Amino acid sequence: MKHPQKLFNALRFAGLLSVIVLGLVSIIGTGGGGGSSHNNNNQLNTYYLDSDGDGYGDPDVTTESASRPQGYVTDDTDCDDADAAVHPGATEVCGDARDNDCNGQIDEGCSTGGPWVPDTGQTTCYDLSGNAYNRCPYEGDEFYGQDACYDINEPSYTKLDAGGNVLSSRATSWSMVRDNVTGLIWETKTNDGGIHDKDNAYTWHDAEDVFIAQLNADGFGGYTDWRLPTLEELRSIVNYGDFIPSVDSYYFPLIMADMSSRHWTASPAAFDTNFAWRLYFYNGVDDATNKGDQWSAIAVRGRQSGAWDNLASNSNGTVTDDNTGLVWLQRTADVNNDGMIDDRDQLNWQEALAWCESLVYAGHDDWRLPTIKELATIVDLSRQNPAIDTGYFPDTVASGYWTSTSASQLPGCAWKIDFAYGNSTYFGESGDLFEYSKSSEFYVRPVRGGE
C-alpha cells in the first residue's frame, strides 16, 4: 500500500510549487521591475486643480493620483481658475474685454464699441397736447423726429438659468436676464421670502453690504461680481413706452413697480454725501434720497457704464462717445445764432424737434433730438451745477434740456434732464404735472449716430 502514499507526496509537492510560483509572480508584478505594468486597481491618473469650484481645472496645476483628490477635476479647459464665472460654456459678457467662455475669443457676438444705448421702448407718437397719432409723422411733417419716429437698438433680452445657460424665451422659470444690447446680466426677483424676494428692502449701505454681499458669497449663478447698478444702468431697462410698470414685465415679472416702491442705484448724490439716487419703475422717474431710507434693490453684473470716461473731441465742434457710438454737438444749441447761450436759446418741444432735424453741422444733416436714455449717457453724477464734464461740454447750463421722449403717463409732457444735478423728470419740482408741458421751453443738445 505504498503507492497511494507516493501519490499523496507528489500532489503535496505540486501544491507547494504552485504557491511558490504564484508568490513570485505577485512579487514581480508589484515590484515595478522590468517592463511590467501597474495593477489596474492602482492606475495613476492626472487631475487638475479647480480653485474656483466651477468644475473646470487649471491645465498648469496638476497632480497624479489613483483617485481624484478633493479640489481637483479631470477637465483641464478652464482659462481662468480664479473666477467661477469664466469657463467653457459660460455666457459671454459684452464689453468686459474677457474671454468668458474660454473659446479663445473676446466679446464674440457682441456689437463692437458697446455697450450701446437701448431704444426706450416708445412706439407711439404724440402732438403738443398729448394726442396720439394713428401713425408717426413722416420726415418733413410736424412733430417728426420724436422718439417713436426712430427705432434705434431695439431692446432684446435672453433668459438664463442658474448656471448662466441660455433658456428659451418661453421658459417659465429663470434666474437671470441678459440684456443683449448692453451685455449686462440682471438678477431675477422671486416671491419666496429668500435673498431674491421682490419685497426685500434695504438701506443704501445694506443693499451693498448685505444683499450684494450675500449674492457673491453664494456665488449666485456661478458669479461673484454682482453689484448695484448705476443710475444710467438701471435706467437702461426702463420701458418709457409704458408705465405701471415701466419695465418689460415679461422678462422682469416680479420687479416692484407700485406707487410706494423705489430701487436703489450705486450712484451717490454729488450735492449731498448722505444721499444716493433711486429709480421708480412705476413711471421711470428718478430722484435722490437719504441713504438711511429703505428701498428695493436689484443686482447686475457686467461692464460698468460711465460715458464721460470715453469722450473724445473731434476738433470740429462735436464730441464722440466711444461707449455708445453717439456724436454730440459740443455746444448747447445757439438757436438765435448770437454766439451766446442764454434764455433766448430755449425752445418748446415742437420747436426743439424741428430745430434738430433741420440742423446741418460738421458735414452731417442727420442730427436729431436725443431720447431720454441717450441724453442721460452724458450726465456725470459725480458733478453738479452742471452735472456734466464741462471740459467737453463747456457751456452747459445747469438747467433743463429736452429729450424726444414723451411721458407715456402724461403724453402732453415730455422727458427732460436737469443738468443742475442730472435727474430726469417730466413734471415740475412742485409736482405740478403741467408745469413742464411740451409748451414749456428748455435748452437743446442735438445728437447723431448710435445705430
List, for residues 349-392, the tens digit of each pLDDT value: 999 999 999 999 999 999 999 999 999 999 999 999 999 999 99
Report the alpha-carbon distance of residue 172 to residue 182 in Å, rounded: 24
Please tell me the distance from the alpha carbon of residue 267 to that of residue 287, in angstroms, as a whole number: 11
Are 211 and 195 spatial neighbours (Cβ–Cβ below 8 Å)?
yes
Q: How many other CB atoms sit within 10 Å of the CB of residue 187?
A: 22
Task: Give the pLDDT of residue 430.
Answer: 54
Q: What is the average pLDDT across 290-315?
A: 84
Which DSSP category does 86 fall into? -
pLDDT tens per residue, range 196-221: 999 999 999 999 999 999 999 999 99
Confidence of residue 92 (pLDDT cuts 50, 70, 90): low
- What average pLDDT does the structure give for the chain? 86
Whether this prediction's pTM lies above 0.85 is answered by no
Residue 299: per-residue pLDDT: 98
User: Is the predicted pLDDT of residue 39 greater than 50, yes or no?
Assistant: no
pLDDT at 12 over 80: no
Report residue 120 CA to chain centroid gap. 16
**pLDDT at residue 116 above 80?**
no
Question: What is the helix (H) or strand (E) element at residue 401, kind and residue range?
Answer: strand 400-406
CA distance 108 to 94: 8
- Residue 305: pLDDT band with limits 50, 70, 90: low
Residue 258: pLDDT band (50, 70, 90) is confident
**Dist. CA 404–CA 364, nearest whole Å:** 19
Residue 31's pLDDT is what? Answer: 44
The per-residue pLDDT for 233 is 94
Predicted local confidence at residue 435, as pLDDT: 61
* Positions of E strands within 188-302: 263-268, 275-279, 286-290, 300-301
CA distance 136 to 144: 8
CB-based contacts of 102, cutoff 8 Å, min separation 6: 56, 77, 78, 79, 80, 86, 87, 88, 90
pLDDT at res. 427: 72
Q: What is the pLDDT of residues 41-72, one digit of tens each?
A: 578 999 999 998 989 999 999 999 989 999 99
Model pLDDT, residue 447? 97
Q: How sure is the predictor about 8, in pLDDT bands with cuts at 50, 70 and 90? A: very low
**Has residue 26 got a pLDDT over 70?**
no
